[in-house]
Chains A and B, each alone.
Chain A
Amino acid sequence: MAESHGGAKGTGAHTEADGGHHGGGFPPFESSTFASQLVSLAIAFVALYLIVSRFALPRVGGAIEARQNKIEGDLAEAQKLKDQSEAALKAYEGELASARARAQAIGNESREKANARAEAERKALEEQLSAKLAEAEKTIASTRATAMSNVRGIAADAAGTIVQQLTGVVPDAASVNAAVDATLKG
């Protein structure tokens, strides 16, 4: 079959050779078409290879790479921002803690100061009061002593007068005094 078509081809009557194909030859095995197909395939495939390797793959690969870079860049940017916000949060918390500590310190200090002042005032007042108390006690004691000596005098006078009235004898002042003292002590 191939030989017969080779012969037809040899005459250069390609169309006539093709016209005979319908008779029952199996087209994929028609060797007369091989040369044409190989040449076409070579041209087409080389053209495709050049288009693909020179233009198409760099283009598509570039688009994919650009997207990849963009995504990675965006992720890095997001990570950076996240880190920044975390740092800010940490700084804020630190600031808050130190402010709280400072406030506590100030509170403690002022409380202690106030306590100390109150304590001092209390002490001064107490001292004042105890001094006054002591003074008052002294006054009371002296008043009482005076009073007691007055009472003794009055009692001695009264006793002398009573004894004079009863006996008509003016008693000895010393014995009256001794008797009054003994009574007061008893």
Chain B
Amino acid sequence: MKIDPIHQFNVEPLFTIGRIGDHTIAFTNASLYMFVAVGIIALLLLTSGKQLVPGRLQSVAELSYEFVASMIRSTAGADGMRFFPLIFSLFMFICVSNLVGIVPYTFTVTSHLIVTAALALLVFFTVLIYGLYKNGLKFLKVFVPSGVPGYILPLVMAIEVLSFFLRPVSHSVRLFANMLAGHIALKVFAGFVAMLGASLGVVGWIGGVMPLALAVALTALELLVAFLQAYVFAILTCIYLNDAIHPGH
């Protein structure tokens, strides 16, 4: 049995929707899992009760609401609450996609750089456009940290500009690389168990206990990473939006 840890990331078209220019637009397994994530979020938020004493589903919905709301308030202030739907959508979409991706034989939407890059660019342009719209040219103060001596200011400004335009890169690659690496590691360890058993018989199955235990531990770690990366993505979004709302450090 050959281990192919990359196979799980294949995008397989299920049916073709149409064409834009010379690009074929297909409904793929990635599309399917994007809509699965949206469906799970909608189901969670729209079917949870409205009881005074919440049940489990309602608690999950309200906890996620409060979690994101307090994240925005603490990093971007009360003005940041206008971006609550955006940040909440990003957080929930990434978190649910990551968690769904841990289930064996599923597809992880966020393990594709194009998806995370699109989300990161959405944040980047939201910050850029809202910052310029709200503050005009004062938005450029983002690049001029206060309290820096004049003679190194050009250097610092160059670094600030560079880091500003590299934000979407780090923002997207962080999520993509975490998901990709975690799933490859899981697949390698899990495949190793099957490979040992298939090639060495009983001895192999007994020897496979170790990689199996590792795969279980890695799954637990991946659960943590799935949530943590969604949180990191959301809180970085809040921090970037804070620059747009309150430019000048």
Residues of A within 8 A of B (CB): 9-10, 12, 14-15, 18, 21-22, 26-30, 33-42, 44-45, 47-49, 51-53, 55-57, 59-64, 66-67, 70
Contact = CB atoms under 8 A, between A and B. Distances in A.
B89 interface: yes
A9 B118 contact: no
A57 B11 contact: no
Contact of B11 (A36, A45, A66): A36
B214 interface: no
Contact of A44 (B6, B25, B34): B34
Given A44-B38, A59-B50, A61-B65, 19 more contacts: A22-B10, A27-B6, A28-B176, A33-B28, A33-B112, A33-B114, A36-B11, A40-B27, A40-B31, A44-B31, A48-B38, A48-B93, A51-B38, A51-B42, A56-B46, A56-B61, A57-B88, A60-B45, A63-B54
> Number of contact residues on B: which range applies?
35 or more
Contacts of B79: none
Contacts of B16: 14
Nearest 9 CB-CB pairings of A with B: A40-B31, A53-B85, A56-B45, A35-B23, A44-B34, A27-B9, A33-B11, A63-B50, A48-B38
A49 B27 contact: no
B133 interface: no
A20 to B, nearest CB: 11
Identify whether the interface residues of B are mostly helix, strand, loop, or mixed: helix
Contacts of B111: 28
B212 interface: no
Given A27-B9, A38-B118, A60 B25 contact: no
A36 B48 contact: no
Given A36-B25, A59-B45, A67-B52, A52 B7 contact: no
Nearest to B97: A44
A21 B109 CA distance: 18
A67 B58 CA distance: 13
B66 to A, nearest CB: 7
B89 A64 contact: no
A60 B13 contact: no
B24 interface: yes
B86 interface: yes
B46 A55 contact: yes
Contacts of B180: 28
A77 to B, nearest CB: 15
B13 A36 contact: yes
Interface in B40-55: 41-42, 45-46, 48-52, 54
Contact of A9 (B24, B62, B86): B24
A103 B124 CA distance: 84
B20 interface: yes
